Structure 1
Amino acid sequence: MKKQAELGLNLSTRRTRKAVFLDEMELVVPWRELVALISAASPVARTGRPPFAHETMLRIHFLQQWFGLSDLAMEEAMFETPLYRDFTGLSSAERIPDRVSILRFRHLLEEHQLSLQILATVNSTLAAKGLLLKNGTAIDATLIAAPSSTKNSSGERDPEMHQTKKGNQWHFGMKAHIGVDADSGLVHTVVGTAANVNDVTQASALVHGEESDVFADAGYQGVAKREETQGIEAHWHVAMRPGKRRVLDKATPMGRVLDELEHVKARIRAKVEHPFRVIKRQFGFVKVRYRGLMKNTAQLHTLFALSNLWMVRHRLMQRAQG
């Protein structure tokens, strides 16, 4: 105790960044709506030990996403970390969910495609609060690495993952394609593919149909002429190829106008980078955790739903306090 006092540590009042983060998530996650969603899809157990509450399991599942924990690591963390037990309402519980219970809950979400509905429910809540508009969409994709080692039980890499070359470097894994609100940067659509799938082929799947404008980088050149985008009435604003932009004559009025237009498009497209930064830097998601595109895409839906809440958490809390 004396050493704690000398160091200025007051364990009864000090709030860690992790504790503050969970306090914020407690306030901004629409728990009631999400629990109702899961309860409607979950079978009622009639035998055996009473199951854990859906909200408890959902909170554990979200903890895994926020802090990059596997099922086993989550089970151990529940025993070791009082903060996690407090957040899940298990501080005084006689038993804590083990890795099997955590795995079964994730399988429940995958079986009923509840991760997709979690994103939709979160976005419905944000739209009702005026935080998600529908006038414009920005689209992009990012690579997510997968283990390339064959030192596993099957002796092979994940057959649904592929390699692709970006610049002078080869990458093995998948791609997360997203469509975001051009005003707020909040994700409204997620598509998961193998890494070797061309970005432009997924463009039509990333718009919701109500936007008037779609913004994309130079990798989407020719998107407006593709067969699958012919029914989309929005205007496509695709970045000029870097080489073509470099030779613009900015000394001429037309050159200056075109260059300024590229600046404007780039500022709008920058919004799509924010969700990628949140899931990779804030939540630590830099490598797939499961085998197969379906499971990893389901996790991406949950991650981007949580990134949406994280990005607007301060505005949500201000509105709740007001």
Structure 2
Amino acid sequence: MKQLVTVGVERWAKKKVTRRERFLAVMEQVVPWERLTQAAEPHWPREREGVRPRPSVDLPCMLRLYFLQRWYALADDALEDALHDSGALRRFVDIDFDTQSVPCASTMLEFRRLLESQSLLRTLLGEIDNYLSRQGLLMKPGSMAEAAIVATDSTPLRRCG
């Protein structure tokens, strides 16, 4: 019979850093997360008349979820499944199974619609493109296995990890 291993022990025993983990580590460093959060903050729903907005997921987490979808070309359902499957993705968006659940696909759909209705997509994507360009980097979206950051011109890409 197979023995169940807790996530923490499993991660501790892991020897290899995956391409996905390296990619997400780079994105953690090169994306101006604080500026993106500040740009979206005025449009983020607040508690109104005693009604908490659904979901109770914070804005930085939702932004990271949105960009995971873009970088890996994932539908809402596929991202929800990927978060259940991948510790690297959960760590990137700061979801701890001990205290939180993965946001459902409809929550991600509502957030994307909020970004679209407030015309925030162009602003957020422009922030990232401008920032990466100043770093000499270019975003190359792909599938779950292929998303990558590539150096533009002759700018060397610094490796993480």
- The TM-score, its normalising length taken from structure 2, stands at 0.72
User: What displacement does 1:96 show?
Assistant: 2.0
The aligned amino acid for 1:118 is L
What is the aligned partner in structure 1 of residue 4 from structure 2?
none
The aligned amino acid for 2:32 is P
Match runs of 1:139-218 below 5 Å: none
Pairs aligned (count): 140
Match of 2:150 among 311, 315, 318: 311
Contact 1:71–1:103 under 8 Å retained in 2: yes
What is the aligned partner in structure 1 of residue 124 from structure 2?
118
Distance 1:83 1:284, change over 3 A: closer
Match of 1:108 among 97, 107, 114: 114
Superposed CA deviations along residues 284-309 of structure 1, whole A, max 9, x for unmatched, are 49xxxxxxxxxxxxxxxxxxxx98xx
Distance 1:130 1:11, change over 3 A: closer
Superposed CA deviations along residues 78-133 of structure 1, whole A, max 9, x for unmatched, are 22222111111012432221011100110011111111101322244356x475xx
Match runs of 1:173-322 below 5 Å: 278-279=140-141, 283-284=142-143, 310-312=149-151, 317=158
What is the aligned partner in structure 1 of residue 67 from structure 2?
62
The aligned amino acid for 1:36 is Q
Match of 2:18 among 11, 16, 22: 16
Match of 2:86 among 81, 91, 112: 81
CA distance in 2, matches of 1:315, 1:33: 25
User: What displacement does 1:60 show?
Assistant: 0.9
User: What displacement does 1:317 show?
Assistant: 4.7
What is the aligned partner in structure 1 of residue 42 from structure 2?
40
Distance 1:90 1:130, change over 3 A: closer
Distance 1:90 1:18, change over 3 A: same
Distance 1:317 1:109, change over 3 A: farther
What is the aligned partner in structure 1 of residue 3 from structure 2?
none
By relative contact order (CA 8 Å, sep 6+), the higher-ranking structure is: 2
Contact 1:27–1:317 under 8 Å retained in 2: no
Match runs of 1:80-99 below 5 Å: 80-91=85-96, 92-99=98-105
3-state secondary structure, aligned to 2:17: coil
Distance 1:70 1:123, change over 3 A: closer
* Identity percentage of aligned residues: 29
Runs of 5+ unmatched residues, structure 1: 1-9, 132-183, 187-274, 286-305
- The TM-score, its normalising length taken from structure 1, stands at 0.38
- Larger strand share, 1 or 2: 1
3-state secondary structure, aligned to 1:311: strand
Q: Which has the larger radius of gyration?
A: 1
Contact 2:30–2:131 under 8 Å retained in 1: no
Runs of 5+ unmatched residues, structure 2: 1-11
The aligned amino acid for 1:26 is E
